[in-house]
Structure 1
């Protein structure tokens, strides 16, 4: 049985590594989405079971067309990897302006504040929304084995003074997953979020790399291995020995370090008032 995967940000970095690993199994048809036509075609060319779709994730119509084409080819969708993202220019949030009036609007360039918000957050919301629709149209027997994985970051769990807007978008990935996952499980969709540390990818600019020691850099293959554990359907045990059965592996935040990975629980509910409020926030979702 051939399964079908769709990966945004699939033309380089972690997205391409996952695509390559799926492709060589021979049991997956892989569709990668990227905005750069030349890079996408070059990425897909050596892969026997992979198709490139040119689309900007910030365009709902372009993403939708790619999803629709992939789905109509196979009449099913089994795995969506919400991986498209960019880094933020270091310290752009802290720019000083010599003006006595309103400072200029944040730069709308692709790696400026607005670009980071549009690609990392808006694009990811579009992908997740489209994934739900096409998962639900897939054959009934795929329920329980439909996987939606978002790429956050260690910056989705902890702060980073250098790139606060990027971190805000990555916190959003964790919040989106924890909020949506219980509801999506009703449709047999397992939604999880990975939070890697500093991964060696094209996203790692020289300015950013300067802040991190070599011993903190993570190989892409390790991240891909964790992704495959999450979509295996099997019980997964993290590096602290915490085991999660396959049918309970949804709504999880998975923090990935150089050699390890850890399930990160949401913050404690500190008093009865918080517990009552939280119950109202998630009532009817489980």
Structure 2
């Protein structure tokens, strides 16, 4: 489905959002070589999978994690990978601590071979310690009618949402500071035939950011929060030349999912880690993808029903009718692709005002630079004495 870019209340062109992602087409990973990518929670699970894939394509990986042992082992593994740049580093980081994240970003910029950070993945996340099944935790408050009722343990929200907000806030500062390959601006947006420099924030939400995950209220709340951050941020991050994308995986067999969760999923389909890594790699490698979200679920196949209507069938199960369809098997889908195709009046006026202010500030900067050149040439004041 094509994006609506010409409607009266469309902001797609204004916010530089790209069109729908064609997931059937291959993507080029060559752009990953030489990029410095910071990954929070990168010592295991999705983060470690991203690190391995991207390091094998020549990216420089900086990991922040609380699991020192796993992180040190992974860094050694990354440095030994064929095609690896060898410039991979680890910094201990508790994402709920602002000071730790500040130190992580400073270390990443210092250790980067290019002196800056090209992309940031806000990946660190945990699941609630207790679900509603346990009879403990947020949904089971116990006796609070006492002298000093204890507050709920909101560590899941602190890691998954506050930690992500810290990461994004720092990324919005550090990414524009990396001037490597910055082109000279022109009317077409680039100059000298150089491609625009890629600055990228990749958010990691979850299927729990789209649907209610019963029994995991904190986790669901935090991932809905990440989804809200994505939907808002992609409407304004273009001001700093930063593209924002997001992935939202379904259940994947990683250390994040407790054993009880895997028992409940027994016999049911799960998303595949390779698909999660593939979706994230496509978003990381293709600088033309801006403001898109990809959901990763169990692999399904499109088949035709008896009346010719296509429907999705879980892999390993036969479809009714002729079962032919287009034969496409997939586990990655787009979501929330339409947010800025039609907006209400406040959002339209707000982003339009931001765009006007950005242009005004650009002209002010140009005038300031020209005035500085004029003054330094001596035409606007006294010339420096000749030597």
With the length of structure 1 as denominator, give the TM-score of the two structures: 0.84
Q: Which runs of 5+ in 1 are unaligned?
A: 109-113, 235-245
Aligned length: 264
Alpha-carbon distance in 2 for matches of 1:103, 1:177: 38
Aligned partner of 1:226 among 279, 290, 293: 279
2:224 alignment partner in structure 1: 171
Moved more, 174-183 or 274-283: 274-283
Question: 2:93 — aligned with what?
Answer: 55
* Cα root mean square deviation, aligned: 2.4
SS in 2 for 1:194: strand
| Larger helix percent | 1
2:312 aligns with none
What is the CA–CA distance in structure 2 between the aligned matches of 1:188 and 1:268, rounded to whole Å?
A: 20
* Cα distance in 2 for residues equivalent to 1:60 and 1:168: 21
TM-score, length-normalised on structure 2?
0.63
Conservation of the 8 A alpha-carbon contact between 1:173 and 1:193? no
Measure the CA separation in 1 of the matches of 2:90 and 2:155.
Answer: 23
Following TM superposition, by how much is the alpha carbon of 1:285 offset from its aligned partner in structure 2, in angstroms? Answer: 4.8
* Inter-partner Cα distance in structure 2 for 1:250 and 1:193: 10
Cα distance in 1 between the residues matched to 2:283 and 2:138: 35
Choose the corresponding residue for 2:348, options 261, 279, 282.
279
Which of 41, 44, 48 is equivalent to 2:72?
Answer: 41
* Counterpart residue number, 2:372: none
Q: In the alignment, does 2:167 pair up with 1:127?
A: yes
| Matched-pair contact (CA < 8 Å) for 2:122–2:203 | yes
Give CA-to-partner distance per residue, 1:19-68, whole Å, 9 cap, x none: 0111112x211011101222221221222132111111111111111111
SS in 2 for 1:250: coil
Query: Which residue number in structure 2 is paired with residue 238 of structure 1?
Result: none
Partner of 2:35 in structure 1? 3
Q: Secondary structure at the match of 2:255?
A: coil
Determine the structure 2 residue equivalent to 1:95.
140
Rg larger in structure: 2
In the TM superposition, structure 1's runs of 4+ consecutive aligned residues that sit over 6 Å from their partners are: 266-269
**How far apart, CA to CA, are the structure 2 residues paired with 1:203 and 1:51?**
23
In structure 2, relative to structure 1, the CA distance for the partners of 1:186 and 1:207 (3 Å cut) is same
Contiguous gaps of at least 5 residues in structure 2: 1-32, 80-85, 183-195, 300-330, 356-387
Q: How do residues 104-115 of structure 1 correspond to structure 2 at under 5 angstroms?
A: 104-108=149-153, 114-115=154-155
User: 2:296 & 2:67 partners in 1: Cα distance?
Assistant: 28
